[in-house]
Structure 1
Amino acid sequence: MLKRALEGVLTEQEASELYSAFDQIGDILIVRIPDSLLSKKKVIGETLLQSVHPARSVFYQATPVEGDFRTRNLEVIAGEDNTETEYKEYGCRFKVDVEKAFFSPRLSTERDRIAGLIQDGEVVINMFGGVGMFSIIAAKKKRCTVYNIDLNPYASKLCEENIRLNKKLKGTVISINGDAAQVVREQLQNMGDRTLMLLPERSDEFLDSAISATKSGGIIHYYSHQHADKRQDAAELSKQHYLQVTNVKSEIVGGRMVRAVGPHYYQTVVDAKITK
């Protein structure tokens, strides 16, 4: 879609260098542009603003998502310089700030999958919950209690606002600002029927905390990044990796390749039932 929108604006060679997709979050578009085309970022932005509806702002992603708060630097290249918007998914409304708190529309299918697995009455511990997307969608569908933990105070504040925005939840979402390992150690040991580890680049580091948070017989959803020559191999590689790094008896009950994050590089999830 991105290359199609820019036909006639870029040469065929330039178009071949351009990343093929952009993220649309509410009325904000976020595009990654290779260094070779940065001189044309304004015309790229203006063309997208005119071609995609609804669109109020187009931002160039100047840095990857990084740091403990999982944020990125964005530069406005067309439209309004305002990084706040409203996003809707599965009947829920979310206020998001695409620069101050982590958010990805590309996890929509996975959010729906997790919500479908949760059973009424479960306690769910979302260790890196961000603005509350997974947690609120789960509580919309099931009578569960979800602890949404995030280190980024702005993400936790947005989660609280999003809980208020979505008044007709079947379940309950509790937003906690803090380090997930410390929060689990002090408040949530052996409380979770299900624990989400939505920080794939650091899952090994926090696995012991996830095990501590989860009841015997509970499920850990372990997300990681895996290199694989073939897309279909990524899920199997992630299962092997989990079994190598875990220190608790585990039965693999599910898992999948969630999305591609680079050439031969994938975000994956393993669903593991643990026995303590």
Structure 2
Amino acid sequence: MRMGLGLAVKVPRSGAEEARRRLAGLGLLDRSRRIMRNGEFVYIPVTRPVELGFEVVSVSLPVAEPKAPMFRASYDVVGSVAIVNDMDMDVENARRLAELIMARHRRVRTVLQKVGEVSGVERVASFRVLAGDGVTETVYRESGCVYKLDVARVFFSPRLSTERLRVAAQVGENESVLDMFAGVGPFSILIARRHPSTTIYAVEKNHAACSYLLENIKLNKVEKQVKPFCGDAAEIVPQLDKQFNRVIMNLPHQSLKYLPLALSKCVSGAVIHLYVAEEREGEESVWERIKSVYAGLLLRETRVVKEISPRMVIRVYDLVVG
């Protein structure tokens, strides 16, 4: 703590607030230093000697640190890792924000800035380290479940926690669920924990994500319910000798391409949760594309679950197979 020597009014604790208000009203407060209590007295820094019946002394008081700048940038905290989502923020401001994040979230050990959107067959974003030790593997807890993951090697969004709960709440007893793009398992494992009688087939192509999926199944003790498959859904799903009551398709930029494959594994009355990246007002055109795949699909509900940019969103379509 830095100290600064200067003048201060010394008053008893009982009269400190009244004295502070009086000095502030006269414009005499020295705001470069902080008010300090010492025993039964309070020292109020002033800019010059005052003749108001107060005792004025020369004393060292803590220097008032400048207020932190206001940032509008959004960030996510995943376990011990924080991610600044604003890719346009310059490095200097991003690092200042990282310091504020670490001061606010004591468990955060690494702060990253996203520098590239989720892309490629592995579905991973690009990051740079802003602060901390640079370790990107962490343990994240959500809705009574625990997930081990590396945010730099797998796709994971804590912003979908409410959506995962919404889907899990719809699952009925003894359902068979297909999670076509399971990631590290947040949909599959939550459903298994909430509905012990369900069976979930979890498919994931990203090798790192699949390794974490296997580990997370054990961590959450759902080995009997969640059956993992490491590989491309386009190759694995056709080989599954099973029909499903519910299909989760959380691959927003490519999910429509896999819709015919999902339909081939659905029983009549099955529900498909289809996640699509689209323009903010683009649901009508997307719905037309969905109906062109199979006219017998009924739309139970649609909603925006995540904003990507001012123009783009991720929307879920809850579809019922007629």
Amino acid at match of 1:62: V
Alignment correspondent of 1:197:
249
Question: Aligned match of 1:91 in 144, 147, 159?
Answer: 144
Quote the Cα distance in structure 2 between the aligned partners of 1:53 and 1:25.
13
Quote the Cα distance in structure 2 between the aligned partners of 1:219 and 1:34.
36
Q: Cα distance, 1:248 vs. partner?
A: 4.7
Quote the Cα distance in structure 2 between the aligned partners of 1:241 and 1:269.
14
Alignment correspondent of 1:242:
290
Q: 2:147 touches 2:216 (CA, 8 Å); kept in 1? A: yes
Deviations 1:44-65 (A, max 9, x none): 3223212223211111112111
Count of matched residue positions in the alignment of Structure 1 and Structure 2: 256
Q: 1:144 touches 1:170 (CA, 8 Å); kept in 2? A: no
Deviations 1:4-25 (A, max 9, x none): xxx9454x7xx4xx53x10000
Quote the Cα distance in structure 2 between the aligned partners of 1:258 and 1:44.
26
Q: 1:149 touches 1:175 (CA, 8 Å); kept in 2? A: yes
Greater share of helix: 1
Alignment correspondent of 1:151:
205
Alignment correspondent of 2:77:
24
**Identity, % of aligned positions:** 32
Deviations 1:26-74 (A, max 9, x none): 1210003444522433333223212223211111112111111101222
Q: Cα distance, 1:258 vs. partner?
A: 1.1
Deviates more, 1:121-130 or 1:50-59: 50-59
Q: Secondary structure at the match of 1:182?
A: helix
Amino acid at match of 1:75: R
Greater length-normalized contact order (CA 8 Å, ≥ 6 residues apart): 1
Q: Secondary structure at the match of 1:100?
A: coil
Distance 1:79-1:205 versus aligned 2 partners, 3 A rule: same
Deviates more, 1:170-179 or 1:255-264: 170-179
The yes-or-no answer on 1:165 pairing with 2:219 is yes
Q: Which one has a bigger Cα radius of gyration?
A: 2
Q: 1:86 touches 1:95 (CA, 8 Å); kept in 2? A: yes
The yes-or-no answer on 1:256 pairing with 2:303 is yes
Distance 1:28-1:97 versus aligned 2 partners, 3 A rule: same
Deviations 1:125-184 (A, max 9, x none): 0110000000000000112111110111111110110011112x4971111111101111
Q: Cα distance, 1:102 vs. partner?
A: 0.6
Q: Secondary structure at the match of 1:200?
A: coil
Q: Secondary structure at the match of 2:116?
A: coil
Distance 1:260-1:175 versus aligned 2 partners, 3 A rule: same
Distance 1:253-1:35 versus aligned 2 partners, 3 A rule: closer
Amino acid at match of 1:262: S
Unaligned runs of 5+ in 2: 1-65
Q: Cα distance, 1:212 vs. partner?
A: 1.2
Alignment correspondent of 1:59:
112
Distance 1:34-1:150 versus aligned 2 partners, 3 A rule: closer
Q: Secondary structure at the match of 2:156?
A: coil
| Aligned counterparts, 1:167-246, within 5 A | 167=221, 169=222, 172-188=225-241, 191-229=243-281, 238-243=286-291, 245-246=292-293
Compute the TM-score of the two structures, normalised by the length of structure 2: 0.74
Q: Secondary structure at the match of 2:100?
A: helix
Deviates more, 1:258-267 or 1:105-114: 258-267
The yes-or-no answer on 1:115 pairing with 2:168 is yes
The yes-or-no answer on 1:44 pairing with 2:91 is no
Q: 2:87 touches 2:116 (CA, 8 Å); kept in 1? A: no
Q: Secondary structure at the match of 2:307?
A: strand
Alignment correspondent of 2:135:
82
The yes-or-no answer on 1:69 pairing with 2:116 is no
Greater share of strand: 2
Q: Cα distance, 1:204 vs. partner?
A: 1.6
Quote the Cα distance in structure 2 between the aligned partners of 1:121 and 1:155.
27
Q: Secondary structure at the match of 1:140?
A: helix
Q: 2:217 touches 2:223 (CA, 8 Å); kept in 1? A: no
Quote the Cα distance in structure 1 between the aligned partners of 2:87 and 2:219.
37
Deviates more, 1:169-178 or 1:144-153: 169-178
Runs of 4+ aligned residues of structure 1 deviating over 3 Å after TM superposition are: 7-10, 33-36, 234-241
Q: 1:140 touches 1:170 (CA, 8 Å); kept in 2? A: no
